[in-house]
Every structure is written in structure tokens, then in C-alpha cells.
Amino acid sequence: MVVIKKICCIGAGYVGGPTCSVIAQMCKDIAVTVVDVNAERIKAWNSNQLPIFEPGLQEVVESCRGQNLFFSTDIDKAIKDADLVFISVNTPSKTFGIGKGRAADLKYIEACARRIAEVGIGNKIVVEKSTVPVRAAESIRRIFNANTKCNLNLQVLSNPEFLAEGTAINDLKNPDRVLIGGDETPEGGKAIQALKSIYERWVPENKIITTNTWSSELSKLAANAFLAQRISSINSISALCEATGADVEEVAHAIGTDQRIGSRFLKASIGFGGSCFQKDVLNLVYLCEALNLPEVARYWQQVIEINDYQRRRFAARVIGCLFNTVTDKKIGLLGFAFKKNTGDTRESSSIYVSKYLMDEGAKLHIFDPKVKKEQIIQDLSQTSICDDDPDRVSRLVTIALDPYEACKNAHAIVICTEWDMFKELDYEKIYKGMLKPAFIFDGRRILDSLHGKLQHIGFQVETIGKKVTELIPFTAKKEISRMDLQAPAAKKLKI
């Protein structure tokens, strides 16, 4: 049996860093080196200010950094020394060319494969950890086969991550499953067993699933697509609830008690975000189109359509309730990360809600406890968000140091991330400092238990998937319906 003594992970991001930190903590006899071309990122991993926020990560890193966990920019040495190499680099959607906006851009995966083939020596197991399209392992293998050396023998495995940001450390230590895919050959079987033996140090054997490479790769895409589908499904019902007087939370509870459905991922909101869901669903759409499965492609495309619709619909509700204009009105936007307990803003719904409000001239005062000012400005300055007018961000966006500052003299509060701290704010103090009528738009359903109190204070409360008793006899349904809530797919894929 192949014994793994040294591991190299190429890519020190949200996947590589936490994953290899936990492996190092659980396997004290294995030396784990995480490498990256970004020197500043590696410097941060070696400091007390880690480059990413994840509950519990700091403690894990500090327990083994400098002992059997190392962070370095010396990529070639780490590859040469390693028995096993994880590829954990970014696989964004293509921004131009064939498959633009949908197909995965594998240039970083290819670069890693070529680097390994160039500098590697001896026997090595190369493991795809990044989310990749089906048959990406075959592309890696072709690069290896075309660059064979007598002193290098490589086996390729697929070991997709199933982490949820905010709970990544727990997900790594107590996973629902670990999936390993490899060649159905004796050599492939040995490689699978070698990787399996690492996870068996802390994961029960019955939770480690082995498959062929293609099934492993497709399982990752399918898992994210199914999760995204559930969110879009309950969000579509939330629109119906608002139109009929039903409460989407009550509907979700009722259907979630059915064991065949279950209660997970039935939380209505302003839409899903993060680095994986949209990218992976669009990747699946592109794959289906490439394989001449247009009906399947259209089915999964609709998951994205509903997500975009939910964001636009929420922004339209804000504008409609504020008497059909938010021009020059201050709006306190609470939360910018795509979910709580992370500083990650990739594909955050907050970005798109901010865009639609800026399109109408709103002055946004944004607060998030974990997202840096520079990241917020960068996200809102993207060409697809600022509509070729980057100066509008400096005109319309202010980053607040605390939630009270963000809400002072505001016409409305818009909650976009479900940070627990937003449940505990002094809303009487906030109300006194706001313009009247004062609105709260709860895009995450975190204030449900406070609706009565908030209304008693004087707030007009608007939330996802429920009609809250209105204190102001105003409606703008006709005007809202004129807004472009049915933007064509081609336009939406650009944002």
C-alpha cells in the first residue's frame, strides 16, 4: 500500500487552506505544505490575521502551523517533495469566448498540471480538489501523458469538497461523506486507498465513498445544483405567498416535515450567492448544451433565472414602498457577505441589490462586520455592476463603521446578510435617528420574532414571503409591475 508522508496543496484559498489545516491537525505524522503564487496571501496565512474568516480556523492553524503545517511560495520544492498533490486553485466561469459566463475556465488547473509534470519526480498522486467540469481529470491525464518522464509516475484522483462557508471546519471534521474517484485499474485502486487511508484517521469508513472519476466530478456539480434548486424553489413560493397572504416560513415548515422532502435549504431569502452555486449550475447548463441535452439545460437554467428574479423583485419592493423613488435617499444596507460567518462576497446577493438601488440613484451606507471596505468597493466597481460608470460608487456608496452609523438619517434599512448581531440591535435608538416613515426590509427573515415590537416602535416592516400588516396606506403594485422583473437571460448572465 502507498504510504503518504508529505502533502502539497496548490492554492491557499477558501478550499485549500482550511482543508489542509484540518488534515495537518488530524494527521500529525504527515507534513502538509500549502503553496500559492500570491506572496501576500501566504504571508497572511503565516500571521495572526488569516486571509479568510472561518469560525474555528484560527485555532486549527495555530495548533499545527510550524510543526507539520507550512505555508510557502516555493511551489516547485513542495511539488518535488510531496507524495500527494492537491490542486485547489480557482475555476471561475469564462469571461469571454466560447462558453462565456457558463463554461468553467480551467487555465489554472492546466497550469498546475503542467507545473507538476515539469518539476515532479518519483511516484505522485494528483488530486482534483477544485470544482471542475466532468472529464477534467482526463484533460489533466492527457497533459501528464504528453509530458512523460522516466522518473515520474502520476495517478489522478477526484476528491471534490463539500464545504459550506461559515461551517467549513465542522464540515471537514464531521463530513456527511468524503467522495474519492479514480481510475478503475490496479494503480488507480491503490491511489484511492492511499487517499482513503488519510481520511480514515477521523472519518468513519462508511462515510467514505469511492467511485470512478467521472461520477465523482459530476456528483459535485449535481450536489450544488440540487441545493441551489431548493433555494430557488422556496423563493418562487415566497413570491406566491406575498401575493396571496400566505407565510413562506409556515409553508416551508409544513412541506419540510415530509421526510421525503426534509427541512434543509428551505429558507426563503433574497437569493443564493457564494463562489459555487451559480458557477456550478451554469457549468451544468453548458455541459448539457454541449452534450445536446437542451431540455435538461433549460431546466437548470431556470434555477438561475429565479435567483436573479428574486434579487430584482426585492429591490423593486424597496423602491416601490419608498414611494417609487430612492433617488438621493439614504438607505442603510446591513450585510454584504453572501452569508453569515464568512467574509466572502463572491456572487453575494447584496452586490446585485446594491446595483439595482444605485441604478435608481440611492445613496447606500453599507455595514458588514467581516467584509473589508476595499472588498465592497471592488465588488461594486465591477463593469457589470457599475454600468461603465465607476465614479458612481464614490458618489453613492459610503462604508459605515457600525450599523447605527449606517442607519442614521436613513429612509430605510435593508438587511441582506443574516448576521446574528442584526437581531440584537437597539431598534428604538435606530428609529429615533431615521427619517419618517421609517422602513425595514428584511431580506433574510431574521427579524420575524421582532415584527410586533418593530411595528409598535413605528417601523413599516417588509419581509420576504409574507405580508406584514401595513401601517402606511400606500401601495405601488402597478408601478412596481412596470419595472423590468423579467429581464432576458442574456442580460442577467452579464451581472
Tell me how long the chain is: 495
Catalytic, 276? Answer: yes
Catalytic, 161? Answer: yes
Q: Please report, as a single letter, which amino acid is at residue 98.
A: I
Task: List, in order, residues 6 or more apart from 63 with CB less than 8 Å away.
Answer: 25
Catalytic residue, chosen from 161, 165, 249, 305, is: 161
Burial class (CB in 10 A: 0-12, 13-18, 19+), 331: buried
| Cα–Cα distance measured from residue 441 to residue 412, given in angstroms and rounded to the nearest whole number | 7
Do 332 and 367 contact (CB within 8 A), yes or no? yes
Catalytic residue, chosen from 9, 276, 386, 416, is: 276
- Scanning the structure block, which residue is given the C-alpha cell 409574507? 466
Phi, psi of 262 (to 5 degrees): 80, 165
Q: How many CB atoms lie within 10 A of CB 396?
A: 20
Name beta bridge partners: 125: 84, 155
| Cα–Cα distance measured from residue 316 to residue 309, given in angstroms and rounded to the nearest whole number | 10
Name beta bridge partners: 206: none
- Scanning the structure block, which residue is given the C-alpha cell 471542475? 132
| Cα–Cα distance measured from residue 495 to residue 492, given in angstroms and rounded to the nearest whole number | 6
Helix extents (H) in 262-382: 277-290, 294-321, 349-359, 373-380
| Cα–Cα distance measured from residue 396 to residue 14, given in angstroms and rounded to the nearest whole number | 31
Task: List, in order, residues 6 or more apart from 492 with CB less than 8 Å away.
Answer: 304, 305, 308
Q: Name the DSSP class of 452.
A: H
Report residue 161 as a C-alpha cell.
Answer: 469538497
Report residue 24 as a C-alpha cell.
Answer: 495537518
Name beta bridge partners: 441: 414, 462
Catalytic, 330? Answer: no
Catalytic residue, chosen from 220, 339, 363, 370, is: 220
Which helix (H) or strand (E) segment holds residue 118: the answer is helix 107-119
Task: List, in order, residues 6 or more apart from 250 with CB less than 8 Å away.
Answer: none
Known catalytic residues are: 161, 220, 276
